[in-house]
Structures are given as C-alpha cells and as structure tokens.
Amino acid sequence: MDSNQFNHLVIPLSDKFFRLAKSILCNGELAQDAVQDLIVKLWEKRDNLNEVENLHGFTMRAMRNLCLDIIRKRKDETELQTDMEYSELNPYQQTEQKDLIFRIKQMINNLPELQRTIIRMRDVEGLDLDEIAFITSLTENAVSVNLSRARQKIRERILNENRKVEEMQWK
Amino acid sequence: MEIMNELLEKYFRGETSVDEETELKQYFKSGNVSSELKIYSSLFEVFDSEINEKANKPLIKVIQNQRKQKRIWIRTFAYTGIAASLTLLLFLKFPFQVDNYAVVSGNKIEDTEFAEKYVEKKLNHVKDMLNKSMTPMNDSFENLRKDLRPMNKLINVKVKMDELQNLIQIKK
C-alpha cells in the first residue's frame, strides 16, 4: 500500500478509531495518542495491508487491542484516569446538572469495557453484528447478548435517574 | 405509537436490525415523540452527537510525517542516482585504472613502457605550456620590483634621519 492508498483507505477511518479508543479509554487525550500510535504502526506495516481482506475490521480490531494494552499497562502503574467517570448524583449535581445527555454519556462509560464498546459500535457507528464480532473476536451470539445487557442497564439507569428527578420535584 | 413502543422493547432486548434502529433514531429525532417515550430521547441524542466526534490532532502529524518520509525517499533516490552516474562516468573515462591498459586516440595500449613514455612526454608538454603562460607574470613581477626601488631609498633616508637625531641629542 503506497502513501496515496494509505491516505484514501486508512486515514479516513481515523475518526472511527478515535471514537472507539475514546469509548474504551474514557479519555479524549489518551484516545488521540492511541489513534496516532495506531496510524504510525499501520504506516510502518503498510506493505502488508494489501493482503488484508477486511481492512475496516482489521484496523478497528487493532485499535481495540492497542487500547486494551494501554489499559493493562496503566492498571499496572496506576488506576486509569478517566475524564468521564459515572457517579451517583449528589444534591449539588442534582440541581446544577440536569443535563440528561451528559448523564447518559456517563452511564455508558460506566458499563464494562466490552459492553460500552459494543453498544457504541452498534448504536453510534451502526455496525452489523458480524462486524462487531470480528472486531471483538467474539461470536455473533455473544455480541448480541452483550448488546442486550448494555441496553438494559442503560434503560434501568435512565429510569432510576428519572425517578430521582421526579422525587426531587415533589419534595 | 404502539408500533414504536414495541420496536423500542425489541431494541432493548437487542433484537432489532440496523434498519429498525435507524427508524427508531429518526422517530426520536423528529421531535414528535409521545410523552411516554420522551424519556429515551436523550439516549438517541447521545448516539447522534457522538458520531460527530473527530480525531483532528493526530492526522496532521501523520500526514506531515508521510510527506517528510516521501521527501527523504526522493532525496535518497536522487543522491543514489547521481552517485551511480558519477561512478559510471569515472569508469568510462579512466578504464585503464581498472583493466591495466590505456586508450590513446581510440587505440588500446597495453605496453607499460610505451604508456609511461607517452605520459612523460605529455606531462613535459604541460610543463612547457605552464612556463610559457607564466612568463608574462614573471615580467610583471620584475617591473614591479623595479618600480619599488625608490621606496628602498626612502628607507635609507629614514635611517640617516634617525642617526642625525641621535647625534643632536648627544651634543645637547
């Protein structure tokens, strides 16, 4: 793969890499660095990329594996610092932070890595189950189960949050 | 509304197709959502907003890096080409250095004694030519030397003046 092909086939996937990395790492800056690392690695091995049948799946899987490596290394050193941690609402947040969109993002980030990766690959990127299965190295059935669990959890959390807001309003 | 409710239940069970999910997204985006389902609008809004997140920072660096690498490759090829051409030129110009023979006026000469005499003769010719070309310069130097002679006299005058000054001081 020459630089022209690389610019046309790999570089346009960078935004997808970034969203996947951000979903796994829960940190924008780390995700940017991870994308850069991946692109440099892919560039160095560009001669082998012509032989890859499913370039999208292959590169997305590489992005996920790279992010999991980062998490593993960071866990050895210190606990991974996320910039979007989910926490229970305190009274101040309840009054000041009624933005449900922000809360839902936190809820998704608080899911286990596999579930948040799968729900975003499906609901944000619109990928088919077989594509997600390829990227995550799971069976389609396992992907379907994880997707269902992730959505159910988000639903429960949204309902809980809504219940709390309603209780606050009644008080 | 009932249809959307069922579709949403199917969605939460993870049984919807991509097309059905697109239908759900469009429904929640329309703004015409029933009050019962409004609570889930923000969820689909999140998915809609996250697709716009982009990786701007790393791309610039990588593209610049690629261009730099490309330039390095072009330069390497150019320098290699120039070096190869020069080597070829030297080989063609001085083949006797490689195969121990000389080429004079298109004739191959392998007799070393003859070649040495030939080179000596040519070198003497070069020496004569150099001498001839140096003659006008030598003449110019000679003329310059003649022109500078009065200057030497001036130096003598200065020496005499110094001696005279010394004598005056002694008398005092």
Domain co-membership, B118 together with B163:
yes
- Closest residue, chain A, to B57 (C-alpha): A32
Domain end call among A65, A83, A101: A83
d(CA B91, CA A12): 50
The verdict on residue B99 lying in a domain is: no
- Percent helix, strand, coil in chain A (nearest 5)? 75, 0, 25
Q: How confident is the model at residue B56 (pLDDT cuts 50, 70, 90)?
A: low
**According to the model, what pLDDT value does residue A75 have?**
75
Domain for residue B139, yes or no? yes
For chain B, helix (H) and strand (E) counts, in that order, are 6, 2
pLDDT over threshold 50, residue A96? no
Q: Are residues B65 and B42 in the same domain?
A: no
* A107 and A147 assigned to the same domain: yes
Residues A109 and A57 in one domain: no
Which one of A66, A83, A100 terminates a domain? Answer: A83
> Domain containing B162: what range?
110-168
pTM summary value: 0.61
Round to whole Å and give the CA distance between A91 and A16: 37
- Domain-located, residue B27: yes
Read off the CATH number of the domain in which A103 is found: 1.10.10.10
What single-letter amino acid sits at A47? D
Q: How many other CB atoms are there within 10 angstroms of residue A165's CB atom?
A: 15
Residue A54: which CATH number? 1.10.1740
Same domain, B40 and B72: no
State the residue range of the domain holding A154. Answer: 86-171
Residue owning tokens 């003449």 = B139
Same structural domain for residues B74 and B37?
Answer: no
Is the Cα dihedral A80, A85, A86, A90 positive or negative? positive
For residue range B61-103, list pLDDT tens digits in order: 555 566 666 666 667 667 777 777 777 777 666 655 555 666 7
At residue A90, the 3 state secondary structure works out as coil
Task: Answer yes or no: do A124 and B55 touch at CB < 8 A.
Answer: no
Domain count, chain B: 3
Which is more confident, A129 or B164?
A129
Would you say residue B24 lies in a domain?
Answer: yes
User: What does the mean pLDDT of chain A come to?
Assistant: 86
Report helix angle A113-123 to A55-77, nearest 10.
150
Overall average pLDDT of the A72-83 stretch: 64
Specify whether A115 is located in the same domain as A43.
no
Is there a single domain that holds both residue A68 and residue A126?
no
Inside any domain, residue B75: yes
Last residue of a domain, one of B30, B65, B93: B93
- What pLDDT does A95 receive? 45
Residue-level pLDDT at A64: 96
| Last residue of one domain, picked from the residues A83, A102, A129 | A83
Q: Which residues of A touch B (CB under 8 A)?
A: 3, 6-7, 11, 14-15, 17-19, 22, 31-33, 35-36, 39-40, 43, 100-101, 104-105, 108, 120, 122-126, 128, 144-145, 147-149, 151-152, 154-155, 158-159, 162
Structural domain includes residue B64? yes
Looking at the partner chain, which of A3, A120, A128 has a beta carbon nearest the beta carbon of B70?
A3
Do residues A77 and A134 both lie within one domain? no
B121 shares a domain with B88: no
Same domain, A91 and A168: yes
Is the Cβ–Cβ distance between A151 and A122 less than 8 Å? no
Residue B14 pLDDT > 60: yes
What pLDDT digit, counting tens, does each position of A120-147 carry?
999 999 999 999 999 999 999 999 999 9
Record the tokens describing residue A99, joined without a space: 């933005």
* pLDDT value, residue B157: 78
pLDDT band (50, 70, 90) for residue A90:
low
Question: Residue B59 pLDDT > 60, yes or no?
Answer: no
Residues A47 and A26 occupy one common structural domain: yes
With the CA atoms of A134, A138, A139 and A141 taken in that order, what torsion angle do they form, in degrees rounded to the nearest 10?
A: -120
Buried b (16+ CB within 10 A) or exposed e, B21-39: beebbebbeeeebeeeeee
Same domain, A124 and A69: no
Q: Of A19-28, A39-48, A63-72, B109-118, which range is least confident?
A: B109-118
Same domain, A58 and A125: no
Distance of CA B156 to the CA centre of its chain: 61
Q: Please tell me whether residues A90 and A171 are part of one structural domain.
A: yes
Clarify whether residues B125 and B162 are in a common domain: yes
Mean pLDDT on B38-43: 89
Q: What is the mean pLDDT of residues A140-157?
A: 95
Can you give the pLDDT at residue B109?
Answer: 73
CA-based radius of gyration for chain B: 49
- Flag whether pLDDT at B18 surpasses 50: yes
CA–CA separation, B40 vs A152, rounded Å?
12
Indicate if B161 and B119 belong to the same structural domain: yes
**What's chain B's length in residues?**
172
What pLDDT shows up at residue B35?
86
User: CA triplet A86, A91, A95: central angle to 5 degrees?
Assistant: 95
Domains: count for chain A: 2
Q: Are residues B138 and B157 in the same domain?
A: yes
Amino acid identity for residue B21 in this structure:
E
* Confidence band, pLDDT 50/70/90 cuts, at residue A97: very low
Under the banding of pLDDT at 50, 70 and 90, the label for residue B142 is confident
